[in-house]
Structure 1
């Protein structure tokens, strides 16, 4: 059997507003939104590989309309936000667990709630406790 390199992955979150949600999660995680390569976007449109309707302007910058991503710290997966036409209708089958030290958890919870997260529950198992939250589009995540 041939030797292959290990697979890598990114986490993709379906949403209605990829750029707004990427901004929210960048703030929540303390990461950055990937910068847009406006020259590349313009060249793709000029060459006929994309349409003007594939683009939009977000915070004064030309961006791809369908998605936005975060720049992860070294060793972390990229997080991509993709526009989908349908609204969220059920609980996520996959969610992010944000980890904070026990002493820092209350401050992170307060910051996330002030930024627009909604607390939907709390859980614990043995010595481990977490808070279940949703982002502004209703995607569940936990703060542990």
Structure 2
């Protein structure tokens, strides 16, 4: 049986990080269902402490998601969930995203992302393949190639 999936990224502040990644990938922040959130609080299934306001919108405090602009038509993996965790990142990610921007765009994309808060780590080459490793504003690694 084949399974669908989403990728979950642990973070300290999910909403700004979701905004950063949505702009980075050209994706969209998944809209918040404010009526649903209010209903969950009114029914006692959540509390006000479970919510926050981000950019004037009522959201779940501990999670934010981004989706591919083609939605479900983009297929599995077309959603990234940013989930708040209490501990800071302390070691290298075991999983990271590789962004295929094309060899002629690596330097301009690196410049664009570092101007928006990414941190350059190093350049690497293996045979004909080259890539740049950097981190998002919370220290999660990603590669450009």
TM-score, structure 1 as length reference: 0.94
Following superposition, the deviation at residue 76 of structure 1 comes to: 5.0
Per-residue CA deviation, residues 83-122 of structure 1 (Å, 9 max, x unaligned), is: 0000001111111111111112222111111111110011
2:75 counterpart residue number:
75
1:9 counterpart residue number:
5
How many Å separate the matches in 1 of 2:38 and 2:114? Answer: 38
Instruction: State yes or no: 1:126 paired with 2:122.
Output: no
1:41 counterpart residue number:
37
C-alpha RMSD of matched pairs (Å): 1.0
2:115 counterpart residue number:
114
How many Å separate the matches in 1 of 2:128 and 2:31? Answer: 40
Q: 1:76 to 1:115 in 2, by over 3 A?
A: farther
**SS state of the match for residue 39, structure 1?**
helix
1:105 counterpart residue number:
106
Structure 1 stretches of 4+ with a deviation exceeding 3 A read: none
How many Å separate the matches in 2 of 1:134 and 1:124? Answer: 18
1:89 counterpart residue number:
90
Structure 1 unaligned regions, length at least 5 = none
1:52 counterpart residue number:
48
Structure 2 unaligned regions, length at least 5 = none
Q: 1:76 to 1:7 in 2, by over 3 A?
A: closer
Per-residue CA deviation, residues 51-95 of structure 1 (Å, 9 max, x unaligned), is: 111000000000000100001241251100000000001111111
Instruction: Say how many residue pairs are matched.
Output: 140
